[in-house]
Structures are given as C-alpha cells and as structure tokens.
Structure 1
C-alpha cells in the first residue's frame, strides 16, 4: 500500500505513476498514518515492511526536526523491526512554494505525513547538494539519541523505485541467520595462564625497567610447545623422590637450553611458581 497523502506532497509527485502502475510489487492506495509505503513480506507468521519516503527537503533546518519525529514515532511503534527509509536523491517538483510549518497531530504528537517533506528548495538542485543532504540524514540517524537507526536506502532514479521495492521485499523476507556462539577451544597458551601457583593476574607479571612482563607469555615464547614446558618443570633435574622416570619433555638439550634462557628473564620465585604448579599437578595424577 501507499499513503494517499503522497499525492499532496509536491516533492513526491514524480513517484505517483510508479506507485499506481501494475509493475510488481502492486500497491493499493490507502490512508497510512505513520508511514508512506507498506509491503507484505513472505514470512510465517505474516509481517509487513513499513517504509518512509524522504527527499533532500527532509533535511533542511526547518524540516529536519519534523522528519526525525516521524522516524522516531515509527521506530518506537515497531521497535525498529521491519522498517526502512528510501531517500530520493533526484525528486522532481515545484521549487517555488514557500515552506510552511509542519502540522502536528494533537493526539499522537507526531508530524503528519501530509506535510512532509516540503518541496525541494531552489538552492538544493544539484546532485552534490542531494548527496550532501543524504549524508546529513545518515549522520543524523546515527547520532540522534532518541531514534533507532534504520536502513536508509538511496534512490538516484525514480524509475527504479519498483525494482528497489522488490529487492526490499526479498531482503526482509529472508530469515536472519542465527549465529550460535561456539565454545572457545582451549589452547596451550590459555592453559599456561592457569598453570601458575599464584592465580591473581597482577602476580603473573613483574616490572622490568618500567614494563610489565607477562610470565605465561614469556614461557610460551621460550618453549616450542606445552610438552617441553611440562618436561622442564617435572624433569629429573628438578624432581626428587620418584620423578626420575618422567618422559614428558621433548629433547633434553632443547628443554635445558630453554630453561637457561628462561632463568635469564624471570626471577627464581616466578620460575618456582610455574614449576610448583606442574609438580603438584603431576603428583595429583
């Protein structure tokens, strides 16, 4: 359906032949109080897409507030669902009519669609001005605190309106893909962050020349894999009373070399916090 008040809006008159044509989607003329166009969507249960028609005149200082009130009212009625606005970049209409203050509905408190938008001002006749008006509308939608942002679809050629409406019908009829967040896979670096006796994050690093060093990250960089970390922590040289037969590590030489590098970076206390955790874990097993 399209609102019958569109016939009385000079900046929209160029669209009337398209709106009344038999080209799909066919539209029936009706009295729509909150929007300009409505399109049925092929969904179950049935839904309706509500559209506003905006022009560069909608963004002039005297009209912008009323335009935002219309958008605000529509989005509050629907929660911002199944609504959009079409912005005509090249509407045709009289440019001599003086802008009049928009009428307000005393009951519902929103600007009547019969008065918006007003004719295109004579100083806004170029394509550059039209695109600037579109940018103004887009930025106002993004920054207005009381308005839910809705899709703003530019229409450069009024003859393409039927095609745009068909695309809108198809797009809004498609079900939204529901993204189910998957479980984050544990990595060796994630495990290293838990493999330390002191659990608090502030105790996992130390200050070195004014910079905080992440102990688990350092260990992960020095050793090639988690297996090497375990082998170094519970290896024969650091185990007593039954650790001599542990074969968790990689090559002994590589583990020992990594251990030497690590001792040059971390303090003995920090190293013992890491080794102590793995020794306790190994005993528990």
Structure 2
C-alpha cells in the first residue's frame, strides 16, 4: 500500500504509476497515518513476499532533501521518532530522494542551463549525511533505521524490491569457528573425550599444548599411583614422587624434573588412569593420511 498523500507531494507524486504498475510492486492506495509505503513481507513459513496475506510488513518513510533543511529538520526527526515507535526499528526503512524534486528534473533545458549549480546544502548526498548525523545524535531515543538513498524515482520500485529480497533472504549458515586449543585438549587422550574436570586441571598446570606434549614425551615413564610403593617405583624410573617434589627448590629444577613434577600433580588430581591416558597419547606416534 502507499499513502494517498503522496499525490499531493511534488517530490514523490510521479512515482505513483511505477508503484501501482502490474510489472512493479502493484501497491494499492490507502490512508497511512504514520508512513508512506507498506510492503508485505514473507516469514519463514508464511506467504510469498509482496503477498497481501503476509502479516509482516516493511514500512517505509519517504523523504526529500528539503526534509532535512534547517527549518524542517526538527519536525522530520519528530516524525522519524514516531515512525520508529511503531515496531521499535524492526522492518522499517527510510528512503531519501537525492534529487530535490521532480519539477526540477522536468524543467526546460534552457532554464536548467542558466540555473546555478546545486549548493552542498541542496544535494541529496549532503542531506543523506546530515540526516545520518542527526539520527546518530538522537540514537538514545530513536533506534537504528536504514536510510536508502535513491537517485531517481523510476528506480524506486527496483530498489524496494531488492531491499525486500534482502530482508526475506534465508540467513547464511554459520561457518564453523576455528577449534580453540581448549576444545582440542579434550581429544588429547587415549580414551577421548577427556572429562571437563581433567581438561581444567591440565590447563591450570600447563601453559599450552606444546608444554603438555613436551612434558609427556620427555618423561622416562608414565606416572604411577600415589601409594608409597608406587612412589618408590616411580622414583626408580626417573619420576619424582609428590613428597620428594615439595622438598626440592623450584629454582633448581631442570625442565625434565619440572615436567615430571607437573605430571605427578596431575596424577594426584585426576587419578593414575586418566593421567596415563594423556601421557600415552602424546608419547605415541601417529601417521596422518
């Protein structure tokens, strides 16, 4: 639908034939108190776009460069604010005509040749930038509404069709996000997936996966149980027990001993079985095909 008041607006009256044409938008004339054009939109399971049975609508406000003149700017902002309150900014658009009016475009060539060039305040691009800046200053009270700059009225139906198509286009499938190191850590075990508890303990003990891999591949054996007999066996295999580790000066620890110490702490926190599964994962060699 388009508002009947467009017939009295010099800047947009010539667009009515294009809006009502059978090959165009085929809009009907009606009384719209808050906007100038209403175009039905399709929902995911609803009717086709531009169908009269569609409940969702794209509401459009038509503005000319004169609407943002200094003496009219305040009233234009008030109108846009009331326009935005209809849906809170959803399914709304503002169309700004870049040419001052249709009468200027249809003036005789002689008069046009003698006319002075448009000043910056008369151009549509200046009006577009001025309106954008003004609405940005009122962003606290006026939600974001897209502003579409139209060069000529005969382009209006096609521009609106493209905007409707963009609004009703199915969203693109989300691309797989790069796997984070922490998510990758859950698979770094001989019995994947690793429990969340074990993964958190490992992330607390080791700076990154590189340090974990180096620690697991540099120890001479897999950490054993924390029982007294196992600690003695572990010491013979080259790994320090938890009690022995606490007695050492951390400043004197060699990298291999520091790695063994962290693996001992991990064993005491998550148990020998889960710790062994992690160590064996990094000590195995895999062939990637």
Q: Which category of TM-score, normalised to the shorter sequence, fits these structures?
A: 0.5 to 0.7
Structure 1 vs Structure 2 CA RMSD: 4.4
Whole-Å separation in 2 of the counterparts to 1:128 and 1:245? 90
The answer as to whether partners of 1:195 and 1:277 remain within 8 angstroms in 2 is no
The answer as to whether partners of 1:235 and 1:246 remain within 8 angstroms in 2 is yes
The answer as to whether partners of 2:58 and 2:91 remain within 8 angstroms in 1 is yes
Segments of structure 2 that go 5 or more residues without pairing to the other structure are: 48-53, 105-115, 187-195, 225-229, 239-252, 274-289
SS of 1:61's equivalent? coil
Deviation for aligned residue 1:169: 2.8
The 5-angstrom pairing of residues 137-216 of structure 1 reads 137-144=131-138, 145-176=140-171, 186-188=183-185, 194-195=200-201, 216=206
Whole-Å separation in 2 of the counterparts to 1:58 and 1:88? 10
Whole-Å separation in 2 of the counterparts to 1:172 and 1:236? 59
Whole-Å separation in 2 of the counterparts to 1:262 and 1:155? 70
Structure ID, larger Rg:
2
Task: Describe the shift of the 1:86–1:156 C-alpha distance in structure 2 as closer, same or farther (beyond 3 A).
Answer: same
Deviation for aligned residue 1:32: 0.3
The 10-residue stretch of structure 1 (21-30 or 235-244) with the greater mean CA deviation from structure 2: 235-244
Task: Describe the shift of the 1:31–1:156 C-alpha distance in structure 2 as closer, same or farther (beyond 3 A).
Answer: same
Segments of structure 1 that go 5 or more residues without pairing to the other structure are: 96-121, 200-214, 248-258
**What is the TM-score of this pair, normalised by structure 2?**
0.59
The 10-residue stretch of structure 1 (66-75 or 155-164) with the greater mean CA deviation from structure 2: 66-75
Whole-Å separation in 2 of the counterparts to 1:231 and 1:176? 46
Deviation for aligned residue 1:39: 0.9
Matched residue, 2:124: 130
Matched residue, 1:206: none
Matched residue, 2:234: 243
Matched residue, 1:36: 36
Q: Does 1:226 align with 2:221?
A: no
Matched residue, 2:16: 16
Number of residues of Structure 1 aligned to a counterpart in Structure 2:
223
Deviation for aligned residue 1:51: 0.6
The answer as to whether partners of 1:90 and 1:130 remain within 8 angstroms in 2 is yes
The answer as to whether partners of 2:4 and 2:31 remain within 8 angstroms in 1 is yes
Matched residue, 1:68: 77
Deviation for aligned residue 1:60: 2.0
The 5-angstrom pairing of residues 256-275 of structure 1 reads 260=254, 274-275=262-263
Deviation for aligned residue 1:162: 1.5
The answer as to whether partners of 1:11 and 1:55 remain within 8 angstroms in 2 is yes
Task: Describe the shift of the 1:187–1:237 C-alpha distance in structure 2 as closer, same or farther (beyond 3 A).
Answer: closer
**What is the TM-score of this pair, normalised by structure 1?**
0.60
Whole-Å separation in 1 of the counterparts to 2:201 and 2:255? 19
Deviation for aligned residue 1:16: 3.4
